[in-house]
Amino acid sequence: MWVNPLNWARVNLRGTWSETPLFDFITDTPVDVANSWSGDAGLTLFPTTQLSAEIGVRFSRLYRQRDGSLYSEATIPRARIQYQFSRALFVRTIVEYGSQERGVLQTPDSGRQVSYCTGESCFGLGGSGSNDISAEALLSYEPTPGTVFFLGYTRLMDDPEAFRFRNLRPESEGMFMKLSYRFRR
């Protein structure tokens, strides 16, 4: 659904339902079938011709068709702010939080945990979860087509408990620069 009553704001709402296979990632084969519910909501603001701000959230849930139990869920809020100094120069920052949990993969007939055996030992695949915060900043300068300068920074952090923002642990960070000049005759 798209709603745009004002020229300085946009609201976006979307929802979907579908059937989707649950894959065994070791053998890359479908093991079970799930009902997938997903959607997103967003608000984009244009307070001035130079400034834009966007805030939104995406979610996805997979329920096993066999018994309706929750197999996985993900919630991803995101914020983006961009300021356009001129046609050629802008700065942008994006912050995104990804909270994802996946349950134990089960056989569709008995509902038992899928197990793998190698030689004399067998093991079952457990569930998994992650809560990551990603922050990015970008400075972009493109005075003419083909001539560009980008300077960016990114940082990824782990949140031990979903949406608690305590004891954040840095996982990685990096900077990059790109300079490109197009020669003309």
Domain definitions of the chain by residue range: 2-180
The stretch 92-105 carries a mean pLDDT of: 91
Q: Determine the 3-state secondary structure of 92 from DSSP.
A: strand
| Residue 2 pLDDT | 54
Which pLDDT score, from 0 to 100, does residue 16 have?
97
Predicted local distance difference test score (pLDDT) of residue 83: 98
Q: Is the pLDDT of residue 75 over 90?
A: yes
Distances (CA, A) of 75 to 107, 163, 172: 26, 10, 21
Span of 28-32, 130-134, 150-154, 174-178 with lowest mean pLDDT: 28-32
Residues 6 or more apart in contact with residue 73 via CB below 8 angstroms: 59, 60, 61, 62, 100, 101
Cβ atoms of 35 and 65 within 8 Å: the answer is yes
Length of the chain: 185
- Do the Cβ atoms of 107 and 17 come closer than 8 Å? no
Work out the average pLDDT over 146-150. 93
Q: Take residue 105 and report the two structure tokens written for it.
A: 């993969």
- Cβ neighbors of 161 (< 8 A, separation 6 or more) are 131
Is the dihedral angle over the CA atoms 160, 161, 167, 170 positive or is it negative? Answer: positive
Q: What's this model's pTM, rounded to 2 decimal places?
A: 0.79
Please answer whether residues 47 and 53 qualify as being in contact, where contact means their C-beta atoms are separated by less than 8 angstroms: yes
pLDDT for 103? 83
- What share of the chain in percent tops pLDDT 90? 56
Residue 23: per-residue pLDDT: 78
Determine the pLDDT at residue 184: 77
Average pLDDT over residues 89-97: 97
The reported pLDDT for the residue numbered 30 is 75
Work out the end-to-end distance of the chain between its first and last CA atoms, rounded to an integer number of angstroms.
Answer: 49
Q: Which residue has the higher pLDDT, 27 or 154?
A: 154
pLDDT(1) > 60: no
User: Per-residue pLDDT for 165 more than 90?
Assistant: no
pLDDT of residue 22: 82
Instruction: Look at residue 158 in the predicted model and tell me its pLDDT.
Output: 93
Task: Decide if 107 contacts 114 (C-beta within 8 A).
Answer: yes
